[in-house]
Amino acid sequence: MTQRIVIVGAGGHAKVVLEAVQATERFTIVGATDPHPEGTSILGIPILGSDDVLPALHAQGVRAAVVALGENDLRERLAARLRTIGFALPPIVHPQAFVAPSARIADGAVVMACAVVGTDTSIGPLAIINTGAILDHDNEVGIAAHIAPGCALAGWVKVGARSLVGVGSAVRPKITIGADVVVGAGSAVVKDLPDGARVGGVPARPLPQVAAPKRS
């Protein structure tokens, strides 16, 4: 028997998550929620309304949810609200991903198709291991972090909470990436990065800060 689940989010990332959920064959998707949907359905699944409908869905017996949002801090905040309502946030692992027997995937995490989660690697709650990303042995990925499509992390890499390792980036062994870091697409990370860093390039270097627009 499959478990009923709701998809929180209805954008492009949600489409990938939705198909990963379907591919597991463990869940029946009752619908999706989104405060600003572009239509009435997503890949044939109805959009039920904004997130305000979530308490009613739980009262109707829907007990599982997946937060299908690419924005890391928002994903973390919405997950906290879902837990308060009473939803479980099961990990979603696409059957075409490889997860080593000794790897650990926490609640709310999503591992997409063709990703590799290597030996003794730990994936934190709500993390995204996106399509085709490779994480070798002894990696640690923090809560709500995002390893984007096509990334390659060597052994003993640590990625902090809510950090983004951009598409196609590579990280050398034993690197620590702090919390709330953004690594630009196609970067090569060869040195540890402090919390809040914004880097890009080969090798990755600090990016110029963009000044906030002046109010008139």
CATH number for position 107: 2.160.10.10
Active-site residue, 137 included: yes
Domain-terminating residue out of 67, 90, 113: 90
* pLDDT the model gives residue 215: 43
Average pLDDT over residues 19-33: 98
Average pLDDT over residues 115-138: 98
Say if 38 falls within a structural domain.
Answer: yes
Before 213, cis peptide (omega within 30)? no
Say if 131 falls within a structural domain.
Answer: yes
Say if 134 falls within a structural domain.
Answer: yes
Domain-terminating residue out of 33, 62, 90: 90
> How far is residue 34's CA from residue 50's CA, in Å, rounded to a whole number?
5
- The total of structural domains in the chain comes to 2
Kind of pairing between the strands at 198-200 and 205-206:
antiparallel
Whether 25 and 111 map to the same domain: the answer is no
Structural domain including 97 reads 91-201
| Size (the chain), residues | 216
With a cut of 90, say whether residue 172 has pLDDT above it. Answer: yes
The residue annotated as part of the active site, out of 36, 58, 94, 137, is: 137
Domain-terminating residue out of 49, 72, 90: 90
Whether 57 and 139 map to the same domain: the answer is no
User: What band does 208 get if pLDDT is binned at 50, 70 and 90?
Assistant: confident
Q: What is the pLDDT of residues 58-79, one digit of tens each?
A: 999 999 999 999 999 999 999 9
Q: What is the pLDDT of residues 91-104, one digit of tens each?
A: 999 999 999 999 99
Average pLDDT over residues 185-195: 98
Whether 117 and 197 map to the same domain: the answer is yes
Say if 212 falls within a structural domain.
Answer: no
> How far is residue 61's CA from residue 57's CA, in Å, rounded to a whole number?
7
Q: What is the pLDDT of residues 151-168, one digit of tens each?
A: 999 999 999 999 999 999
> How far is residue 31's CA from residue 9's CA, in Å, rounded to a whole number?
10
Whether 132 and 85 map to the same domain: the answer is no
User: What band does 38 get if pLDDT is binned at 50, 70 and 90?
Assistant: confident
* pLDDT the model gives residue 209: 75
Element (H, E) at 54: helix 54-59
With a cut of 50, say whether residue 119 has pLDDT above it. Answer: yes
Angle subtended at Cα 49 by Cα 48 and Cα 50, rounded to the nearest 5 degrees: 135
CATH label of the domain that carries residue 75: 3.40.50.20
Whether 187 and 121 map to the same domain: the answer is yes
Say if 107 falls within a structural domain.
Answer: yes
Percent of the residues in the chain that have a pLDDT greater than 90, as a whole number: 94
pTM metric for this prediction = 0.95
State the chain's mean pLDDT as an integer.
96
